Chains A and B, each alone.
Chain A
């Protein structure tokens, strides 16, 4: 069984899916019974989603993929 302090300490590893299955289950059990820790978990999970979504929201430069294919094509022809 994990208490609040342990749960908060291991929240990051839990969110990173880096805990053993046994330990992850102990954290899950604690989260189900503890509103405060559940709140902290949801906050960090949502923050993670927001960061990933926003950091990857990037338009490719015009012609980027064509230039990428071209540079590999040139390499084959020895025009490096």
Chain B
């Protein structure tokens, strides 16, 4: 059982990251905990097929992604939303001139951290249709490479890139809408040429 004990100890360090991503996937704390438990159980049982020395973190995220897609997704009664409105390139960047400067007096990096609340960022991710949400989570939040994400989702790398691109733009638009709702934006400041 030595290898299995190692699994528990090694895998446990990734539990908090897995939980955060599971929560963005399921949008529900109880389902997220179930998803992480199921991921660990599957990992534990499939441990013989895990190659020592390969990336345990990527392996766990792959199991979790597949479990989510196969189980939770199929439970959802909502129609599959695969379409996403096309958003122009550099959407948010081109609108930064409309943000009320008096409410943004920190340094540039802090500014971005202050500009949106945790809830807004979480909601923006969770509002994405699953097809886009999962690659965005795996890349922007978990930092996996295109190749790793392509393997996890069993789609070509080009598909990962296009879903990331469209998903990120849609997320930026969502963040902009949240900022507008909070009164941080004065659109009359935008250069009409933009």
Contact = CB atoms under 8 A, between A and B. Distances in A.
Main secondary structure of the interface of B (DSSP, over half): helix
Given A18-B146, A56-B141, A65-B12, A46 B109 contact: yes
B113 interface: yes
Interface in A1-29: 8, 12-13, 16-18
Interface of B: 1, 4, 8, 12, 15-17, 19-20, 23-24, 29, 33, 36-37, 40-41, 44-45, 89-90, 92-93, 96, 108-109, 111-113, 115-118, 120-122, 125, 137, 139-141, 143, 145-146, 161, 164-165, 168, 171-172
Given A61-B29, A75-B44, A54 B15 contact: no
Given A16-B146, A49-B109, A50-B115, A55 B141 contact: yes
Contacts of B141: 51-52, 55-56
Given A17-B145, A51-B125, A55-B122, 19 more contacts: A8-B89, A12-B164, A12-B168, A16-B164, A47-B112, A49-B112, A50-B116, A50-B121, A51-B171, A52-B140, A52-B141, A55-B137, A56-B20, A64-B15, A64-B36, A65-B15, A69-B8, A69-B12, A76-B1
25 contacts: A12-B165, A13-B161, A16-B164, A40-B90, A43-B112, A47-B112, A47-B172, A48-B140, A49-B109, A51-B140, A51-B171, A52-B141, A53-B113, A55-B121, A55-B122, A55-B137, A57-B118, A60-B15, A61-B33, A64-B15, A68-B12, A68-B36, A68-B40, A75-B45, A76-B4
A34 interface: no
A56 B8 contact: no
Contact of B122 (A12, A17, A42, A54): A54
A43 B121 CA distance: 16
Contacts of B139: 16
Contact of A75 (B41, B137, B171, B172): B41
Given A67-B37, A68-B12, A46 B112 contact: yes
Interface residues of A, number: 34
B113 A50 contact: yes
Contacts of B8: 69, 72
Contacts of B45: 75
B92 A47 contact: yes
B113 A49 contact: yes
A45 B113 CA distance: 12
A58 B23 CA distance: 9
